[in-house]
Amino acid sequence: MGNSKLYKGSLNTIILKLLEESDKMYGYEITQKVKEITKGELNITEGALYPALHKLEAEGLLDVEMQKVDNRLRKYYKLTEKGTTETANRLSELEEYIRTMQTIINPNWSIN
């Protein structure tokens, strides 16, 4: 994985974006999805993922649903109405940030 400190600030937005694209997800599924999309470049640890999920839940951006799956309980997360609105805001903030960084690092490059 690259510099984890650079990814850390965007972890909540990454989680919100993934949940926006699916109905509901559980913790391990999120880590696997991120790994798959980034081709193994980004590996989210349990120590980073669950505190982030719990924070988003406490902020009212995520709702939880418990299900019994294969001899154990599974906690699913899904976006609340507030979470859906917040996802759009955070994604546009992140895009704006990437654009600004690009103009500093490589003025000739654009993400459109």
Partner 1 sequence: MENKLPKEDIQFIDTYLSNSDIHYEDIRIEMIDHVASDIEHKMNEGDSRGFYEIFKEYMIENKSSLEKQGKPFQWKVFKSTLKKFAANLVSFKVILGGILLFLALRFLDTMIYPFDDFTAMIIPMLMLFAITSVPIIRLRGKKYSFIGNFAIFQCVYFNLCVQLTLITDFNSTFFYAILFIWAFFSAASFKTMLDLSSYYNKNLQTI
Give the per-residue contact string, 90-109, with partner 1 (x = CB under 8 A; - = no): --------------------
- Contact between 1 and 42 (Cβ < 8 Å): yes
Nearer to partner 1, 71 or 108 (CB): 71
Residue with tokens 């993922």: 49
CB of 97 to partner 1, least distance (A): 24
Nearer to partner 1, 38 or 102 (CB): 38
Verify binding: residue 72, partner 1, rule CB under 8 A. yes
- Residues near 43 by beta carbon (within 8 Å), at least 6 away in sequence: 1, 31, 34, 35
CB of 94 to partner 1, least distance (A): 22
> How far is Cα 86 from Cα 27, in angstroms, rounded to an integer?
20
Site for partner 1 in 8-67 (CB under 8 A): 26-29, 32, 45-48, 50-51, 54-55, 57-58, 64, 66
Radius of gyration for the chain, computed over Cα atoms and rounded to the nearest angstrom:
15
- Residues near 71 by beta carbon (within 8 Å), at least 6 away in sequence: none
Q: Which residues are at the interface with partner 1 (CB under 8 A)?
A: 26-29, 32, 45-48, 50-51, 54-55, 57-58, 64, 66, 68-75
